[in-house]
């Protein structure tokens, strides 16, 4: 079973930056897509960004385009989310996820809290 472990969350002021990391272990050969989701208090979990593990395509939710960048280091089995110009509405628990496609997630991380103060 693939295991995903996030790190890098924390408290930051509006306009600041954070970098989240997600380290994968286990049989990752079947995992062709990885991504980030987030869940704010009282809201449903939403898609944030995704990256192909088998290619180089990326996708983002409109609200983070131009501010967040997803990247990966295949040799380290690690994915990153670089978050700039953070806003209070970015406050949420951020989850790392992986699967054969971003629509068929089979593995989730435990989540890391990101809090943006105004």
Name the pLDDT band for 91 (thresholds 50, 70, 90): very high
Burial level of 23, CB count in 10 A (0-12/13-18/19+)? middle
**Is the per-residue pLDDT at 95 higher than 90?**
yes
Task: Give the pLDDT of residue 56.
Answer: 79
pLDDT band at 28 (very low <50, low <70, confident <90, very high): confident
pLDDT in tens, 56-89: 799 999 999 999 999 999 889 999 999 999 999 9
Taking the C-alpha atoms of residue 30 and residue 99, their distance in angstroms, rounded to an integer, is 7
Q: What is the mean pLDDT of residues 6-12?
A: 96
Residue labelled with tokens 């990256």: 51
Confidence (pLDDT) at 36? 98
């Amino acid at each position: 079973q693939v295991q995903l472990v996030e790190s890098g969350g924390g408290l930051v002021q509006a306009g600041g930056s954070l970098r989240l990391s997600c380290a994968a272990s286990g049989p990752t050969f079947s995992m062709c897509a990885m991504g980030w989701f987030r869940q704010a208090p009282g809201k449903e979990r939403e898609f944030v960004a995704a990256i192909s593990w088998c290619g180089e395509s990326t996708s983002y939710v409109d609200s983070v385009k131009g501010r967040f960048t997803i990247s990966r280091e295949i040799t380290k089995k690690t994915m990153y989310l670089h978050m700039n110009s953070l806003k209070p509405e970015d406050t949420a628990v951020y989850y790392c996820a992986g699967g054969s496609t971003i629509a068929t997630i089979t593995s989730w991380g435990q989540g890391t809290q990101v809090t943006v103060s105004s």
